[in-house]
Chain A
Amino acid sequence: MKLKFSWDTGIGIGIILFGVFILLNALNMPDMPLGLGPGDFPEIVSIGLIICGFILTFQSFFISEKTKKIYSKSSVKDVLILIFISLLYVYLVKYIGFLYLTPFLMLATMYLFGYKKLPYAIVISVIFTLLVYYVFYGIFKVPLPQFSLFLNRRDKSPK
């Protein structure tokens, strides 16, 4: 019988490895004379993960998954771009500030979603950012990141 390798096979193996990694870490933690040691609960969890990982891997050899492709190239690209620009936003916002950077993130996201009317997109992004800034910074007093590119960062930026 020919064994089939699928996404689930890989995920199953990944879970086993992750379980083993937790287990090895947990086994190094000290035991307690009475009650649970800090490693005991993670040990139980890791053993559960290893067992489930084995079952998933084993099942994946025999249960054929739907032949439908799980990922399409273009959608994965879009998803990764969105996460990347959002993480970039998180990195840059402490220098540029919420007020100036957020419209760009919104514009980029709208573009990714296929919104092509640029003038409308600009108006919506700016108005929405101003509104959110006013509500959260003005009313709720959330210390949203401010422009601090040329200032001493330690004084201005949140952690």
Chain B
Amino acid sequence: MINYWVEGLKIALQPNNLLLMLIGTVGGIIVGALPGVTSSMGIILLLPFTYYLDPKSALLMLAGMYSGSMFGGSISAVLLGVPGTPSAAATLIDGYPLGRQGKAGKAIFTALIASFSGGILSGIVLVFLAPILASFALRFSPIDYFALAIFGLSIIASVSGKHLLKGIISGLLGLFISTVGIENIRGSTRFTFGISQLSAGFELLPVLIGVFAITEILMELEQKGQETKIQHRISEVFLTKEEFKSIIIPILVGAIIGIVIGVIPGTGGTIATFLAYNVLKNISKRKEKFGKGAVEGVAVVECANNAVTGGAMVPTLALGVPGDVVTAVMLGAMILIGVRPGPLLFQATPDLVYSFFAGWFIIQFMMLVVGFVSTLTAPYILEIPKKILMPIVLIFAIIGSFAIRNSLYDVAIALIFGLLGYFMRKHNFPATPLILGIILGPMAEQNLNRALILSGNDYTVMFKSPISLTLLILAVLSILLGVISGKREGKVGGVKKWREKMK
């Protein structure tokens, strides 16, 4: 074990890897801060740059992007009154009033300290829990893997919010898309309709670029790249001693809730932040200050937000099942750079896993430094007009989909999926289930096939294996949890209304 750590640390500390992590982190903070560019989009747009790297380096760069973007969201929440990423929505509640009081610098600095703490604490849980979970998952038989895929698909319920039916339809479409091309059972082609390019199936990246990047560009185009004006200027940055003391408890509360929510597949940042905020408000002695600019409010939310990242990486790395929307994209990104998450990853490439672990902690420290600099330079970043930014994103999207196998056909696929994603978004069909379907479809089909061959076509085998049964029960619970939180979404998700009230 110590050997793995030493080896991992050596890899992560190589100058080129340090530089890549730094680029990832800086890019992540910028992407997170810019409204209209989400963490998922940042990860996808970074992918073309990572094809040419060794998978270890690529993974470290992606981790920097992931962590950085989670903090970056708070910058626009405070300065613009618009969350840069969905999970920074709760940061608005206290971050925006703090900005109005001329304490925008303090709000972002608090967010930075809290994000750093959340990243470090959840990283500790990640390095302890993921290997244990992975070694347990090594015992999985094909039917258990099938149940795991079903469990992974059950997170559709929670990522769909109040549009559950449309989420399921989107997931089923994803499952169908995963069946196009040469199938693994007899080696024959399915649903290609004589189009030779379809026999290789749909590449994941053009689909990801389509539904996350191109769709976003089209949505922005509708608004004609409407700009949000900077509302607040940075003045005081550092916290007083009292303020420092006051954010310790919120950070702990945020970390615990963020990690637990993160580890459970199907929950994610938005739920964790609002839950942590409510819990802290209920236990705080200064309830009346919340919503009016309490640094505690910013601390708890931002810590929970970044604690989710480490937590959500546990099932992603150990089981190959994403913890939330962004890790679903991370999972896709890992597969593309040649890293297949799952229990075997820990056995086959421990150097990769441990360099990722070591890099995770280095990234948090980088984020602390870069985040501090970005606090001072943020207003300039936010002034990049969308009218220029979106065309740049389009060119990156085109290059990204082309570069995976140097095919213009893939660019066309990305554009078509962009249009499909736009149509879906307009009619409230969430896009994440589509991606989950594409990723988890082959895992479900191939393992069910293997299990049926082994058991002589006995479908009850999925209830006979204790692991499979447990996973199926967890899937049902996850769906119920998703339905309940979807119903509550209307109550907590009204950021727009809240903003209007503030005005």
| A contacts, CB < 8 Å to B | 7-8, 11, 15, 22, 25, 29-30, 32, 34-39, 41-42, 45-46, 48-49, 52-53, 55-56, 59, 70-72, 75, 78-79, 82-83, 86-87, 89-90, 93-94, 102, 105-106, 109-110, 112-115, 124-125, 128-129, 132, 136, 140-145, 158-159
Contacts and interface: CB of A to CB of B under 8 A. Distances in A.
Given A59-B165, A110-B391, A29 B411 contact: no
A38 B218 contact: no
Nearest to A135: B49
Interface string B42-70: 00000011011000000000000000000
Contact of A114 (B179, B183, B224, B444): B224
B162 to A, nearest CB: 12
B19 interface: no
Chain B contact surface mostly: helix
Contacts of A39: 190
| A-side interface mostly | helix
Interface string B98-133: 000000000000000000000000000000000000
Contact of B449 (A30, A36, A59, A143): A36
A109 B224 contact: no
A79 B406 CA distance: 26
Given A8-B427, A106-B395, A159 B409 contact: yes
Contacts of A22: 176, 191
B453 A35 contact: yes
Contact of A49 (B169, B183, B426): B169
Interface stretch (B282-290, B299-307, B381-389, B490-498): B381-389
A158 B391 CA distance: 24
B3 interface: no
Contacts of A55: 165
3 A-B pairs closest in CB distance: A109-B391, A115-B387, A35-B453
B452 A49 contact: no
Interface in B377-400: 385-388, 390-392, 394-396, 398-399
B457 A142 contact: no
B331 to A, nearest CB: 21
A158 B407 contact: yes
B395 A128 contact: yes
Given A41-B448, A42-B191, A115-B225, 5 more contacts: A29-B188, A37-B185, A42-B190, A52-B165, A142-B402
B217 A82 contact: yes
Contacts of B445: 36, 41
6 contacts: A22-B191, A36-B448, A38-B183, A132-B399, A158-B408, A159-B409
A41 B450 CA distance: 13
